[in-house]
Amino acid sequence: MNIIDVSIIVIYVLLTLFVGIWVSKRASKGLKSYFLGGNDIKWYYLGLSNGSGMFDISGTAWMVGILFLYGVKSFMFMWLWPIFNQIFVMMFLAVWIRRSNIMTGSEWILTRFGNDKAGKASHLIVAVFAIVSAVGFIAYFFEGVGKFMTIILPWDFSLYIGEMLLLNSEQSYALIIIILTTIYTIKGGMYSVVATEVLQYVIMVIAGFLVAGYAFFAFSDIEITSVITEEWKNIFFGWDLGIHWDEKYQAFNDLIDSEGYKMFGAFIGMSLFKGFFASIAGPTPSFDMQRILSTKTVKEAAYMGGFTNLILFIPRYLLIGGIVVIALVVLSPGMIANPSLVGGDLEVLLPKVINFHVPVGVKGLLLAGLLAAFMSTFSAFVNAGPAYIVNDIYKKYFKPEASSKHYIKASHIASFLVVGLGVFMGFFAESINSLTLWITSALFGGYVAANFLKWIWWRFNGWGYFWGMLAGLIIASLQFVLDQNKGNFSEDSLLGELANWHAIYLFPIIFGFSLLGSFLGTYLSKPTEMGVLKSFYKNVRPWGWWGPVYRELNNEDISISKNTNFWKDMGNCTIGIVWQSSMIVLPIYFMIRDYPKAWVALAIFVLTSVILKYTWLDRVRKIPN
């Protein structure tokens, strides 16, 4: 580490702390100020904050690895999450969610199912989901940032008591970064989170442009094209993946064959199937939903959704593309000499490039940017998780009448509790990956069906929601147990075959059981009270099967109009996914010097932007303030 790089990182950390604490006084007015910024933060700052929160270290390292191996079509791997859920939020979900005018995702559930036993059961399972997710991801961040900092920084920060090792270097680094981030997050709530994330976004964008500029000018077109093939640059595909690498890089073709994505057509088809339902289900009750609920108005919630998409992808993929270009030219010859090349070798491409192949100054800014990425994502979870503990559990069930000062103190304690639990679990490094996989596959898998139905079907009730989420959670957990024990089953047995399936192909089974739980829970219990349904539909106005509720409202107020925008919204989402994809492939094609395809991507971006101006933006502008 050069003194210039170290100085940049130190200055960044101090500046982040200063900004976070400087704005913290504004958070002391009450829970709404603390968790939602008093609904007084500009939508474009919230959009920058939301984009910054999605720009994390582990995700960036993963995307560098898959782009390196699979080429340009690897952007479709992001549909696993699915990344285009942000398009659905932009087109209609941000408006639906913000109209509720509440503080958290689980509080939102009460507006849909009421406050009886069924409503409370659905409310409680969402709150538990949000808290467990926050704790699990903090534990994941604890392990991830510690490993990253240990690879990058040269100092050994191991802590001993006598000859007994108390903390290894990874844990020490992780604790230092987490303590610093927690200080300003707890002190200032949403104000500090947004202010620091805007600063962090600026640093990440500068770092991305500098790395892209260095990779562009340091390596020639011939050096790049001598490594990659036409198939590597091709976004189109058949049922099976073609040969991505020429013969001298056969080790990479062998790695592709072993990764489980060879049937690429089926993989993408299933990703789109899952992605559609997961996107309509809406954002999980975490930092993404908190940003929507923090906007001033419904119109600004829609603006924020669009702005998040616009500012996130081009800077991020300039950085990723720059790192991959350096790795292709400099690291690929040494990698194919490794007789036991595995997918894990791709995860260290990012720190290897930073350590040995980025110039002084740029390295410091890039490290500050990636540190910013970690801190922004971490702080977003630290702000979101305690909101559910204080507002949805403590205030609702234990202390309904107390001062704002009391609830702010309770929020501080809840934040320390969430961080403390996450760090405690992070010390068990051997099991943390299992925990994270359980959260992302089981919890998120069980989330989809029930949260899809809540928008579109009037008869769906609180017990249907509760049992639907629980059924999906149980089946997804069984899938995870099978995956962890697949070596114990015969490959010819049914369990052996299921255990060897990629998780995405089991989604229809998880979805089916969750639907079954939702339907049984709904039809074996009474409907939600009509008064609750009328209030919900009048405020949110979703499309779907709401006929009885619509007719009841029409008897009282003939001005209530039915939402018939399903096909318009789906058309906009289709155009939006193409728009989003063009922003991803444009910087990649630019970085690998395939200028004809870069021009095509730019033309598609401009064309889809013009179309969305008329089909989406003009509609948003007509939303009343």
pLDDT tens profile 232-280: 999 988 888 888 888 888 888 888 887 777 788 888 888 888 888 888 8
**Mean pLDDT comparison of 404-408, 473-477, 589-593, highest-scoring range:** 589-593
Instruction: List the structure tokens of 234.
Output: 């091709």
Look at residue 582 and tell me whether its pLDDT is greater than 90: yes
CATH of the domain at 440: 1.20.1730
**Mind giving me the DSSP string for 84-112?**
THHHHIIIIIHHHHHTT--SSHHHHHHHH
Least confident of 120-129, 134-143, 418-427: 134-143
Instruction: List the structure tokens of 294.
Output: 């923090």
Confidence at 525, pLDDT banded by 50, 70, 90:
very high
The percentage of residues in the chain with a pLDDT greater than 70, rounded to a whole number, is 84
**Structural domain contains residue 373:** yes
Helix or strand run (H / E) with residue 517: helix 507-523
**Structural domain contains residue 538:** no
**Residue of 5 and 497 predicted with greater confidence:** 5
Look at residue 457 and tell me whether its pLDDT is greater than 80: yes
Give the residue among 448, 75, 104 at the shortest CA–CA distance from 279: 448
Please report the sign of the dihedral spanned by the C-alpha atoms of residue 232, residue 236, residue 238, residue 239.
Answer: positive
Instruction: List the structure tokens of 244.
Output: 């991505």
CA atoms within 13 A on the CB side of 480: 20
Alpha-carbon distance of 249 to 253, in angstroms, equals 7
Q: Say what the pTM is.
A: 0.85
Least confident of 66-70, 100-104, 223-227, 493-497: 493-497
Cβ contact 315:584 at 8 Å = no
Confidence at 344, pLDDT banded by 50, 70, 90:
low
Rounded to whole angstroms, the maximal C-alpha distance in the chain is 79
**Residue of 335 and 210 predicted with greater confidence:** 210
**Mean of pLDDT over the chain:** 81
Rounded to 5 degrees, φ, ψ at 469 are -65, -40
**Structural domain contains residue 555:** no
Give the residue among 479, 379, 393 at the shortest CA–CA distance from 422: 379
**Structural domain contains residue 499:** no
**Residue of 291 and 21 predicted with greater confidence:** 291
Alpha-carbon distance of 113 to 532, in angstroms, equals 7
Look at residue 361 and tell me whether its pLDDT is greater than 80: yes
Helix or strand run (H / E) with residue 165: strand 164-167
User: What range defines the domain where residue 317 resides?
Assistant: 3-456+563-621
pLDDT of residue 431: 45
**Residue of 203 and 581 predicted with greater confidence:** 581
Look at residue 432 and tell me whether its pLDDT is greater than 60: no
Confidence at 31, pLDDT banded by 50, 70, 90:
low
Buried b (16+ CB within 10 A) or exposed e, 8-45: bbeebbeebbebbbbbbebbeeebbbbbbbbbebbbeb
pLDDT of residue 433: 47
**Structural domain contains residue 442:** yes
Look at residue 485 and tell me whether its pLDDT is greater than 70: no
Alpha-carbon distance of 156 to 140, in angstroms, equals 22
Query: How many degrees, rounded to 5, is the angle at CA 297 between CA 576 and CA 375?
Result: 70
Confidence at 381, pLDDT banded by 50, 70, 90:
confident
Cβ contact 308:295 at 8 Å = no
**Structural domain contains residue 325:** yes
Least confident of 314-328, 402-416, 459-473, 576-590: 402-416
Average pLDDT over every residue of 398-404: 81
Alpha-carbon distance of 236 to 602, in angstroms, equals 17
Confidence at 299, pLDDT banded by 50, 70, 90:
very high
Q: Into how many domains does the chain fold?
A: 1
**Structural domain contains residue 201:** yes
**Structural domain contains residue 255:** yes
Look at residue 484 and tell me whether its pLDDT is greater than 70: no
**What are 166-195's pLDDT values in tens digits?**
777 877 888 888 887 777 667 666 666 777
Report which residue type is found at 333.
P
Look at residue 196 and tell me whether its pLDDT is greater than 80: no
